[in-house]
Amino acid sequence: MLRFDNITKTFGANTAVKAASFVVDKPMMIGIIGRSGAGKSTLLRILNKLTDSTSGEITFDGLSVTDLRGAAKRNWQSQCAMIFQQFNLVPRMDVVSNVLHGTLNRRSTMSTMFNLYPDEDIHSAIDILERLGIAEHAPKRAEALSGGQQQRVAIARALMQDPRIILADEPIASLDPMNAQVVMQSLRDIHEQDNRMVIANLHTLDTARRYCDRVIGMRDGKIVFDGTPEQLTTGAARDIYGADASFSEATTSTQIETTEPGNKLLADIAAH
């Protein structure tokens, strides 16, 4: 289905991603973990073609993604919708219009200019918001919503594209633990109910373990771990994060009962 074959990305003398290879043979929920600068965002951006790889090839259902240009590239980008840590909504615009933005790639410039949306698109936007439990907020400005609600609006906008893959770059990094769980569960539900592939960069181990079928660990641009949550032992995690023997699972927890210092410790591990 999805195949990364020796994908490398260099920025000048810096190699952000080094010969990354993996195969996903059915829609899964995949978590990518690794400390800051490991290459996680670059990997997602290459898949979405926000940036081009320096060498290597990506194929999806036999089609070479690497070579896509123009309209074919835009079509691919709508097939793999991306959500971000900072939601990237238009703050002063109402929620439903933000969601309808997900249809921009298939609408004419003229209808975009005048904010003209077909009724059926408006209905599907409301249905998607309903599904994510935030339909009551549809007429509000996006900026009036909590972070967790805004991230669900961003997920709704992504779903409006009816994508095969949802890419999420640290989708819960700005959220409190309760909202983080709601957002992760929404992504999990979308994966299970719609059979869409979800690939999420995550900054905590327990989130990857709890919600993902498979975890890919990156270190210095290389994939150093690729396995199930069960295979992700403390030793494997220590290797991914390049931490010393003082590395503790407890420092990576984002469960509701977790105290803030625990999260800060992981941030420290991730940053060093």
Contacting positions for ligand ATP (CB under 6 A):
11, 14, 16, 34, 36-42
Interaction between residue 150 and Mg ion (CB under 5 A): no
Is residue 71 classed exposed, middle or buried when 0-12, 13-18 and 19+ CB atoms within 10 A define those classes?
A: exposed
In angstroms, the first-to-last Cα distance of the chain is 36
Q: Which is nearer to ligand ATP, 11 or 268 (CB)?
A: 11
Q: Which is nearer to ligand ATP, 17 or 95 (CB)?
A: 17
Closest distance to ligand ATP from the beta carbon of 127 (Å): 33
Which 22-61 residues touch Mg ion, going by CB under 5 A? 40-41
Tokens of 193: 């109910």
Closest distance to Mg ion from the beta carbon of 180 (Å): 17
Contact 39, 49 (CB under 8 A): no
Report what 34 binds from ligand ATP, Mg ion, none; CB cut-off 5-8 Å by kind.
Answer: ligand ATP
Report what 11 binds from Mg ion, ligand ATP, none; CB cut-off 5-8 Å by kind.
Answer: ligand ATP
Count of CB atoms situated within 10 Å of the CB of 5? 16
Among candidates 94, 206, 204, which has minimal Cα distance to 156?
94
Backbone angles phi, psi at 87, to 5 degrees: 65, -40
Closest distance to ligand ATP from the beta carbon of 192 (Å): 26
Report what 88 binds from Mg ion, ligand ATP, none; CB cut-off 5-8 Å by kind.
Answer: none
Closest distance to Mg ion from the beta carbon of 271 (Å): 12
Contact 40, 84 (CB under 8 A): no
CB closest to Mg ion, residue no: 41
